Structure 1
Amino acid sequence: MRYLMTTGQNSRQPDEALFAEMGAFIEEMTAAGILIATGGLEPGGVKVTSEGDEITVTDGPFVEAKEEILGFALVEVSSHEEALEVSRRFRRIVGDGDSILHRVMGP
């Protein structure tokens, strides 16, 4: 099963210790074959809307800065519980904040 975890603002400020902990976590998840992809997201984004034959492109941001999605991880795990545990471990590293976990449907 694949899950996409997105994350926004975190309470822990980036420093060398955070980078070291996150690096070790990423290496562990990659070596275990769990982590497929991870990355930061550009603030704001672009919204593409279709209505009939008309396509509209609107520059962001679209939400309050505290709600903006800043990064993601795509993981492949054997169960929903394992995806939750990966998310819990991530939250323990980065501190207070929100992550949203979605199961990716399909092959």
Structure 2
Amino acid sequence: MRFMMIVKATTDSEEGKMPTPELIEAMQKYNEELVKAGVLLAGDGLHPSLNGIRISYPEPGSKPKIMDGPFTEAKELIAGYTLIEVKSREEAIEWALRMPDPHGFGQGEIELRQVFEAVDLTDNPEFLEKEAALRKHVEERKKS
């Protein structure tokens, strides 16, 4: 089971305030624990929404609308993520609870969401075969 730990943005992260050296060290230690346990798939921090682009689809079949950041409501924005693969929802929660306060100022909030697997979406064997081939191709490209 894959889960994404979504680190919510704060006013500080949206202003581009960088983490303290202590927080960077704590996050590095946490990431090392994830790697040693063999559960880390990916994880990164994101630039503030000032540098972001939002693409929306206001009408079915219409052209997409492009809007440059910054975006409002910092608490609804994402400042970073960690993608893990674990055996259960409970294990995902355990890992999320071990993450240091992601902003280090008492404002941190993590949203934990399970990632859909192809078999959750369809039982069409042709689609599942194509999806498996795409994932294999991506993994092979990472290795080269």
Q: TM-score, normalised by structure 1?
A: 0.82
Identity of aligned residues (%): 40
Aligned with 1:3: secondary structure?
strand
* 3-state DSSP of counterpart to 1:71: strand
Structure with more of its chain in helix, by fraction: 2
Find the residue that maps to 2:32 and give its secondary structure: helix
Residue 2 of structure 1: aligned partner: 2
**In the alignment, is residue 33 of structure 1 matched against residue 42 of structure 2?**
no
TM-score, scaled relative to structure 2: 0.63
Q: Secondary structure at the match of 1:88?
A: helix
Question: How far does residue 42 in structure 1 lie from its aligned partner after superposition?
Answer: 2.0
CA displacement 1:5-53 (0-9 Å, x = unmatched): 111238xx83232222211110110121111100011211222122313
For the pair 1:42 / 2:47, whether they are aligned, the reply is: yes
Q: After TM superposition, what 4+ stretches of structure 1 lie above 3 angstroms from structure 2?
A: none
More strand by share: 1
Segments of structure 1 that go 5 or more residues without pairing to the other structure are none
Greater CA radius of gyration, 1 or 2? 2
SS of equivalent residue, structure 1 residue 70:
strand
For residues 47-67 of structure 1, give each alpha carbon's deviation from its aligned partner in whole angstroms, at most 9, with x where no partner exists.
212231312111123332344
Matched with 1:65 is: 74
* Corresponding residue pairs, total: 103
Structure-1 residue corresponding to 2:19: 14
